[in-house]
Amino acid sequence: MLELESKSLEIKFKGEVYRLDFPKVNAVRTLQKNIKEKGEDIDHIICFLEDLGLKREISEDMEVSNLLKIVDALTEEKKS
């Protein structure tokens, strides 16, 4: 039997720990669609992370490179 569970990612920023849910397929699909149709916009990324549990004000206090690292960690496919 293959038993599957939802995962979460913990990040630490300015001494605080935040927990984000890993995105479901529809969330990734929506992000990709928004980027494709409207161009790469930081607001798409902030909304995506907000939907996964990271408060907007926390995202807006981070450097863009940190936001992109979080997105990469949440969407990266594991290589066998």
| pLDDT at 14 (0 to 100) | 96
Condensed to tens digits (0 to 9), the pLDDT of residues 55-67 reads 999 999 999 999 9
Indicate the pTM of the whole model: 0.83
The residues, any chain, with a CB within 8 Å of residue 67's CB and separated by 6 or more, are 42, 45, 46, 49, 59
Mind giving me the DSSP string for 18-42? EEEEPPPHHHHHHHHHHHHHH---H
Structural domain tally of the chain? 1
> Is position 11 within any domain?
no
Query: Does residue 8 lie in a domain region?
Result: no
Is 71 inside any structural domain?
Answer: yes
Provide the residue range defining the domain that includes 31: 24-75
Whether 44 is in a domain gets the answer yes
Secondary element (H or E) of residue 61:
none
pLDDT tens readout for residues 25-51: 999 999 889 888 887 789 999 999 999
Half-sphere exposure of 10 (CA within 13 A, CB side): 4
Structural domain contains residue 12: no
